[in-house]
Every structure is written in structure tokens, then in C-alpha cells.
Amino acid sequence: MISHPVAFGHLALGATLVGGLLFSAFLQQAGLVGSALLMAVIISTTSLTVVLPVLKESGLLKTDYGQTLLTGAWWRISSP
């Protein structure tokens, strides 16, 4: 397991983008979506809506680790 939260965030971002693109390519080949890239962006940008409630419910939102994860999720959707 990666002990540094920023490194873990980068790894999770890469895995989410690659997984989203692969899944979207599958959906495009099946004829369910027109643009695999657009669908990959949609799939990968939902993280903030998932991360915030999980951090709040688990009590991690007020910790440094939780704030790092929240900042990473926010940065991901706000950067071009």
C-alpha cells in the first residue's frame, strides 16, 4: 500500500482515467455511446460527489489525510 496520500492520489487518478477510457471504448464498440473520450471524462469526474460523503461519514473529513483526498478530488475536476 502506498503510504503517501499525494502519491496514492496520483495513482488513483491514473487508474481511474485508464479504467474509464477502457470501459468507454468497450461501450463505444458495443454501440452504446458515440464518443469514448467524452464518456471517459464523464465517468472519471464523478469522484468529488463520491469522495465527499464517504469522507464525511467515516469521520476523515476533518483530518489532514481527508483534506488531502478532498483537495485531490477537487483539483481533478477543476483542472483542464
pLDDT digits (tens, 9 = 90+) for 9-51: 777 778 878 888 898 899 899 998 888 888 887 777 666 777 7
Structural domain count, the chain: 1
> 38 or 1, which is more confident?
38
Is residue 58 one of the residues assigned to a domain?
yes
Is residue 76 one of the residues assigned to a domain?
yes
- pLDDT, residue 76, reads 62
Q: What is the value of pTM for the model shown?
A: 0.53
Is residue 64 one of the residues assigned to a domain?
yes
- pLDDT, residue 29, reads 93
Side-chain half-sphere exposure of 60, counting CA atoms within 13 A = 14
CA–CA separation, 6 and 17 (whole Å): 17
Q: Cell numbers for 62, please give them.
A: 476533518
Is residue 20 one of the residues assigned to a domain?
no
CB 52 within 8 A of CB 58: no
Q: Could you tell me the residue range of the domain that residue 66 belongs to?
A: 45-80
Is residue 67 one of the residues assigned to a domain?
yes
